[in-house]
Amino acid sequence: MKSVFAWHRPLMTVAALMLASTLVCLVGLLVDPRQVTGLDVWAKPLKFSLSILLYSVTWAWLIAHLPRWRRIAHAAGTVVAVALIVEQALIVGAAAAGTTSHFNVSTPLAQAVWATMAVSITVLYVCTFLTTIAVFFLRLPTRSTTFAVRAGAVIALVGMGLAYLMTGPTAQQLSDFRGIAGAHTVGLPDGGPGLPLLGWSTVGGDLRIPHFVGMHALQLLPLLAILLGWAGRHWRPLADDRVRLRLVVVATVVYAGTLALLTAQALAGQSIVRPDGVFLWGGWTLAVLGVAAAVAVVAVGTRGGGGRLEPPSAAETVPAAQAAPSPRAKAGA
């Protein structure tokens, strides 16, 4: 019987290392005044520490509770853990040296670092693709949380893949090469005005935004499903999991639409803080349609009897991960 508190140990080791890395970066921000591309030198490794921490903990739990493909997913998770450690070690090392890690091919050492990072990112993506497929065999206590995890994993995979849009040299770099091949910012060189700590450009398009938003769908959509489940125990209109499932579907569509809009906005060279034209109207349209659809789902569910408060079933009180796997599930593990 698998405990609900089971974890993939290599990824949890990465999470522990990221906690330590976070503390190191916070100290660095306080005592080290150096800057790279207009940002405090320790801001980038701090962001990666927190992002990798969330990624590691999420996948550590999911992989440990897979009913099928468990061995393959466990091996993939271990490879991911190694890739993440290599990635963060190189980012922290570059920060300590006072230089940039990404896109830097200015010296043979910088080329080796960037090439190693590129390999580790590619390996991480392939392994995440495998674990994402495996997640579709995972069934959680409710359909709403199950759908949220599956949808979040797919959108996160898309968000991770958007990083490859940053790796090609820009036209300016090709015409005046200075050791950097690739950029976060579209239409302008990296290092201009940006949001505090995040560094996202406030004057041009920035591909880090859809990359970030997409990757963390795996945390945000399941969190929404969990919050809806909690609300359903206290508010009648959300008591029926069918209503909650429809709300999660609406949220997923809006999230995917937002990701597409943010990607198009970044590629068009428009700043996230100064949306206009089709991007401004597109954002408002997604927001209005999303709210209207959510209200309609709750209203229809209430009229259809979905507002009855009922005691949770055994399947809802005992996590799916604690249920003994069937012989067929064991055979597929």
**pLDDT tens per residue, range 83-115:** 999 999 999 999 998 888 888 888 899 889 989
Contact 58, 69 (CB under 8 A): no
Q: Note whether residue 259 is domain-resident.
A: yes
Confidence at residue 330, expressed as pLDDT on a 0 to 100 scale: 40
For residue 276, what are its two tokens? 């206009």
CA gap 132, 273 in Å, rounded: 33
Q: What is the pLDDT of residues 34-56, one digit of tens each?
A: 988 778 899 999 999 999 999 99
Local confidence band at 4 (pLDDT 50, 70, 90 cut-offs): low
Q: Note whether residue 65 is domain-resident.
A: yes
Query: Which stretches of 216-240 are DSSP H helices?
Result: 217-232
Question: In terms of pLDDT, which residue wins out, 6 or 304?
Answer: 6
Tell whether 194 and 58 lie within a shared domain.
no
Local confidence band at 2 (pLDDT 50, 70, 90 cut-offs): low
Q: Note whether residue 331 is domain-resident.
A: no
* CA neighbor of 25 nearest in space, from 86, 90, 96: 96
Confidence at residue 325, expressed as pLDDT on a 0 to 100 scale: 43
Confidence at residue 268, expressed as pLDDT on a 0 to 100 scale: 92
Map residue 268 onto helix, strand or coil.
Answer: coil
Confidence at residue 27, expressed as pLDDT on a 0 to 100 scale: 95
Tell whether 148 and 277 lie within a shared domain.
yes
Q: What does 63-100 look like in DSSP terms, one character per residue?
A: HHT-SSSHHHHHHHHHHHHHHHHHHHHHHHHHHHTTS-
* CA neighbor of 215 nearest in space, from 264, 261, 186, 255: 255
Contact 214, 164 (CB under 8 A): no
Query: Which stretches of 105-142 are DSSP H helices?
Result: 108-135
Confidence at residue 122, expressed as pLDDT on a 0 to 100 scale: 94
pTM metric for this prediction? 0.86
How large a percentage of the chain has pLDDT more than 90? 63
Tell whether 134 and 154 lie within a shared domain.
no
Tell whether 133 and 232 lie within a shared domain.
no
Provide the mean pLDDT of the chain.
87
Tell whether 196 and 273 lie within a shared domain.
yes
Average pLDDT in the 119-140 region? 94
Exposure class string for 81-98: b at 16+ Cβ within 10 A, else e: bebbbbbbebbbebbeee
Confidence at residue 48, expressed as pLDDT on a 0 to 100 scale: 94
Question: In terms of pLDDT, which residue wins out, 329 or 31?
Answer: 31
Tell whether 127 and 235 lie within a shared domain.
no
Tell whether 173 and 282 lie within a shared domain.
yes
Cα-based distances in Å from 264 to 205, 256, 283, 303: 9, 12, 12, 39
Q: Note whether residue 326 is domain-resident.
A: no
Confidence at residue 3, expressed as pLDDT on a 0 to 100 scale: 61
Tell whether 238 and 275 lie within a shared domain.
yes
Model confidence at 233: pLDDT above 60: yes
Query: Exposure of 251 by Cβ count < 10 A (0-12 exposed, 13-18 middle, 19+ buried)?
Result: buried
Tell whether 151 and 286 lie within a shared domain.
yes
CA gap 71, 76 in Å, rounded: 9
- Number of folded domains in the chain? 2
Average pLDDT in the 22-45 region? 91
Average pLDDT in the 149-169 region? 93
Local confidence band at 305 (pLDDT 50, 70, 90 cut-offs): low
Domain span holding position 298: 142-317
CA gap 205, 92 in Å, rounded: 26
Confidence at residue 72, expressed as pLDDT on a 0 to 100 scale: 93
Question: In terms of pLDDT, which residue wins out, 161 or 172?
Answer: 161
* Highest mean pLDDT out of 70-74, 218-222, 236-240: 218-222
Backbone phi, psi, residue 186, to 5°: -105, 125
Tell whether 15 and 156 lie within a shared domain.
no
Q: Note whether residue 324 is domain-resident.
A: no
Q: What is the pLDDT of residues 250-298, one digit of tens each?
A: 999 999 999 999 999 999 999 999 899 899 999 999 999 999 999 999 9
CA gap 254, 261 in Å, rounded: 10
Tell whether 170 and 287 lie within a shared domain.
yes
Amino acid at 161: G
